[in-house]
């Protein structure tokens, strides 16, 4: 029990503080409201919290952190807490309070004398925790089907990855070298009492020593850095952009990697950012302005014509493919509850189609990087192996591939492959 309790406590910023804290009704109720939207209405956790935290302007940083961290923590450990509380979905409000009681009891938090907390069975909660922690799928809080899939795909490695993916994600920054240096960002953040440290092997990355809201800092507003996990930064490093190239980011989204590519190109050349969602491309434009980047051109994929216009014209193409997201569960813990078994097969088929279509934009002699934030071989090394046997992939040679394991790296789980199109 002690080791599992330690794992759970390490996931919460205020683990030590919790033991002495006094629960405030409006913060607890805001947490319960957020959980209702996430669990019962299938809303995305990050979007729910973004709205919840706007509810009361009087809330300070610690109040907001309590709501966010507690909500994410309960989402992360939903199965374990629900089974201890002996409640099943859909959770009514009293069920959600029972789950909250489990969360609080396991952290030694004294519960106030509220009607919602009447008859809290503290000893029973700890006893059920001991009992249920012997079952991996409950202890690591994962759906049965996903546990079976992971075990079949990864063998003994699955348990190690599960444990790593239940840790709280570090906040990693990527310094915008078009505007500043790593040292200057460290100094600027230190002046606002935010301590950072460099990461070996990641030349422009900084890790926050303690979690903090970096988006309110002057350095962020001035475009000196972006928040981007180290594994994500490694994808662009593998692509090796150079000034003057024409590079296509084929699944750009809101453009974290597009911005990194443009930065490494020193604003020289052309980055063509493609996506099927216009709102994401609009967000990329906004971020590019803040970063002082002007060599990104966004193009909405409205039909196959968008791709045909770029056939054989790109020096390099990045396919940051849509995936199950199993490599970033520490960052998006609600993903494991929203995933369905059929989606895995569907996304593998989508990845196959994107590889066949988007690889044609690489000109002869050019390079392609395929990446996912998944740890499943079917989406990763097997996907590339199959691609190389199809007509669309026979012109390509695999130069390098890398599997970034969450339990080994401490960062997000990623796969990336570098391929070269034959002259």
Whole-number Å distance between alpha carbons of 292 and 4:
46
Asked if 369 contacts 235 with a C-beta cutoff of 8 angstroms, the reply is: yes
The DSSP-derived string for 251-265 is T-TT-HHHHHHHHHT
Catalytic annotation, pick one of 373, 376, 384, 416: 373
The rounded radius of gyration (Å) of the Cα atoms in the chain is 23
Long-range contacts, 24-28 (Cβ 8 Å, 24+) = 24/63, 25/112, 25/114, 26/56, 27/59, 27/63, 27/66, 27/67, 28/100
151: tokens are 């075990």
Sheet holding 196-199, edge to edge: 196-199, 202-208, 172-175, 225-227
- For 146, half-sphere exposure in the C-beta direction (CA atoms, 13 angstrom radius) is 24
Q: How many other C-beta atoms lie within 10 A of the C-beta of residue 57?
A: 5
DSSP letter (8 states) at residue 201:
T
Asked if 361 contacts 385 with a C-beta cutoff of 8 angstroms, the reply is: no
Q: Is there a catalytic annotation at residue 323?
A: no
Asked if 331 contacts 256 with a C-beta cutoff of 8 angstroms, the reply is: no
Which residues are known to be catalytic?
A: 373
């Amino acid at each position: 029990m002690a080791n599992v309790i330690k794992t759970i406590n390490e996931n919460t910023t205020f683990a030590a503080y919790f033991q002495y804290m006094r629960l405030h009704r409006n913060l607890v109720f805001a947490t319960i409201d957020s959980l209702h939207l996430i669990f019962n209405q299938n809303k995305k956790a990050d979007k729910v919290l973004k709205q919840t935290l706007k509810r009361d302007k009087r809330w300070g940083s610690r109040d907001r952190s309590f709501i966010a961290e507690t909500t994410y923590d309960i989402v992360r450990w939903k199965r374990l807490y629900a089974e201890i509380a002996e409640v099943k979905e859909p959770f009514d409000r009293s069920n959600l309070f029972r789950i909250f009681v489990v969360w609080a009891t396991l952290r030694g938090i004294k519960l106030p004398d509220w009607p919602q907390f009447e008859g809290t069975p503290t000893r029973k909660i700890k006893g059920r925790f001991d009992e249920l922690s012997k079952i991996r799928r409950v202890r690591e809080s994962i759906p049965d089907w996903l546990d079976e899939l992971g075990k079949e795909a990864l063998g003994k490695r699955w348990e190690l990855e599960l444990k790593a993916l239940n840790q709280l994600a570090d906040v990693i920054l990527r310094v915008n070298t078009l505007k500043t240096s790593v040292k200057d960002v460290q100094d600027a953040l230190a002046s606002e009492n935010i301590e950072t440290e460099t990461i070996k092997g990641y030349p422009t990355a900084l890790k926050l020593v303690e979690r903090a809201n970096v988006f309110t800092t002057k350095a962020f507003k001035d475009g000196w850095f972006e928040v981007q996990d180290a594994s994500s930064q490694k994808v662009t490093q593998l692509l090796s952009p150079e000034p003057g190239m024409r590079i296509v980011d084929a699944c750009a989204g809101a453009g974290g990697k597009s911005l990194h590519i443009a930065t490494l190109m020193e604003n020289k050349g052309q980055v063509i950012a493609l996506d099927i969602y216009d709102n994401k491309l609009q967000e990329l434009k906004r971020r590019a302005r803040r970063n002082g980047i002007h060599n990104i051109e966004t193009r909405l994929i409205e039909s196959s014509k968008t791709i045909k216009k770029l056939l054989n014209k790109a020096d390099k193409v990045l396919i940051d493919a849509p995936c199950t997201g199993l490599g970033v569960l520490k960052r998006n813990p609600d993903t494991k509850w929203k995933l369905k078994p059929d989606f895995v097969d569907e996304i593998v088929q989508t990845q196959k189609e994107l590889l066949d279509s988007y690889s044609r934009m690489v000109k002869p002699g050019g390079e392609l990087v395929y990446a996912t934030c998944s740890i499943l071989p079917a989406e990763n090394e097997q996907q590339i192996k199959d691609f190389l046997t199809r007509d669309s992939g026979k012109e390509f040679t695999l130069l390098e591939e890398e599997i970034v394991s969450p339990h080994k790296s401490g960062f997000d789980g990623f796969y990336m492959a570098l391929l070269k199109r034959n002259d």
